[in-house]
Amino acid sequence: MLSVVPRPVVVRAPSKVNLHLAVGDLRDDGYHELTTVFQALSLADTVTVAPADTLTVRVIGDDAAAVPTDRTNLVWRAAEMLAAEGGVAPNVEIVIEKGIPVAGGMAGGSADAAAALVALNSLWKLDFSRPDLDAFAARLGSDVPFSLHGGTALGTGRGEQLVPVLTRRTFHWVLALAKGGLSTPVVFRELDKLRAEGTPNRLGTADELIHALTTGDPHVLAPLLGNDLQAAALSLNPDLRRTLRAGVEAGALAGIVSGSGPTCAFLCADAQSAVEVSAELAGAGVCRTVRVASGPVPGARILDNAAKG
């Protein structure tokens, strides 16, 4: 019998911004109870998987040097998990092309893990269902299920229990990428510390924001964006205040720290305004680099499905 070597599979996975991120109390398992509304953005990573003699991970693109290529990379864990569940050997070369800032609060590692699950399910012809992949994703990390799903969604629990949120039209964003990253656990600990000292206030429910999304009007949405982690990120990196101010002065409707930061996300009135805000922000010297993005976009998707044939 002729054995056919499967062709590489290429998957693109989106970044995310939290439009609403309410952090509740610390649970017994060490996680905080979250209520969050995620939106998947067009700034993305690409993951390519190809058959190999052994499991290897290579990282190229922006920030590549900051990403581990050993078993601490989330894609390595995704490959070992899927191989064990599917009863195959995890012999694959995984190439990650980073577009999402590393440790930037935009779920870059989670996007790569979601992409690896989708790509390897196809390469190894495992036929795991979406609910199976969701369960594997939740074991890999709190944000991985959303990276699989994309769109706009309400997340509860650790953020892994998802319900889609209806949105009208595309929203236009400018992202200010910072020099260096912030560690998510450190930002949560800083919030616990600030709360123990009596500051800051907690976000209310996401109801008004969810309603604003159905209007499709960024002017209605802008004042409702909120992130309980922002105070902690600003406490750890006070320069971000200047970045947030500069984006609004450049014409954005609102600016927030994305997730645990330090990326700042600016909601703009339309695509043209986003280009103008990005140009002005790039010249203001308040961040490492600037990107324009839009959302919602789909979750991890195969770009080249030759492996299916």
Q: Which is nearer to ligand ATP, 96 or 286 (CB)?
A: 96
Residue 233 sits in the site that holds ligand ATP (CB under 6 A): no
Residue 34 sits in the site that holds ligand ATP (CB under 6 A): no
Residue 283 sits in the site that holds ligand ATP (CB under 6 A): no
| Stretch 63-92 residues interacting with ligand ATP (CB under 6 A) | 67-68, 72-75
Contact in structure between 268 and 172 (CB atoms under 8 Å): yes
Residue 102 sits in the site that holds ligand ATP (CB under 6 A): yes
Which residue is catalytic, options 62, 63, 143, 228? 143
Q: Which is nearer to ligand ATP, 121 or 273 (CB)?
A: 121
Residue 103 sits in the site that holds ligand ATP (CB under 6 A): yes
Query: For ligand ATP, what does the binding mask look like between residues 241 and 260, x meaning CB under 6 A?
Result: ------------------xx
Contact in structure between 135 and 99 (CB atoms under 8 Å): no
Q: Where are the alpha helices (DSSP H) in 33-93?
A: 74-86
Q: How far is the CB of 15 from ligand ATP (least distance, A)?
A: 8
From candidates 90, 104, 218, 295, binder to ligand ATP by CB under 6 A: 104
Q: Which is nearer to ligand ATP, 209 or 257 (CB)?
A: 257
Here the tokens at position 134 are 């969701």
b/e map of 280-304 (b: 16 or more CB within 10 Å)?
A: bbbebebbeebbbbbbbbebbbbee
Residue type, 135: A
Q: Tokens 């864990």: give the residue.
A: 77
What's phi and psi for 238, nearest 5 deg?
-60, -20
Residue 229 sits in the site that holds ligand ATP (CB under 6 A): no
Q: Tell me whether residue 125 is one of the annotated catalytic residues.
A: no
Here the tokens at position 83 are 């191989």
Measured CA to CA, the distance from residue 293 to residue 284 in angstroms comes to 19
Residue 40 sits in the site that holds ligand ATP (CB under 6 A): no
Q: What is the torsion angle, in degrees rounded to the nearest 10, for the CA atoms of residue 126, residue 121, residue 301 and residue 46? A: -160
Residue 180 sits in the site that holds ligand ATP (CB under 6 A): no
Which residue is catalytic, options 16, 62, 98, 228? 16
Measured CA to CA, the distance from residue 292 to residue 90 in angstroms comes to 36
Residue type, 105: G
Q: State the distance between the two ends of the chain, measured CA to CA, in whole angstroms.
A: 17
Residue 190 sits in the site that holds ligand ATP (CB under 6 A): no
Q: Tell me whether residue 179 is one of the annotated catalytic residues.
A: no
Q: How far is the CB of 120 from ligand ATP (least distance, A)?
A: 14
Residue 160 sits in the site that holds ligand ATP (CB under 6 A): no
Length of the chain: 309
Residue 151 sits in the site that holds ligand ATP (CB under 6 A): no
Q: How far is the CB of 217 from ligand ATP (least distance, A)?
A: 27
Q: What 3-state DSSP class applies to 107?
A: coil
Measured CA to CA, the distance from residue 266 to residue 279 in angstroms comes to 13
**Can you give the binding site for ligand ATP, defined by CB under 6 A?**
67-68, 72-75, 96, 102-110, 112, 143, 181, 184, 259-260
Q: Which residues are catalytic?
A: 16, 143
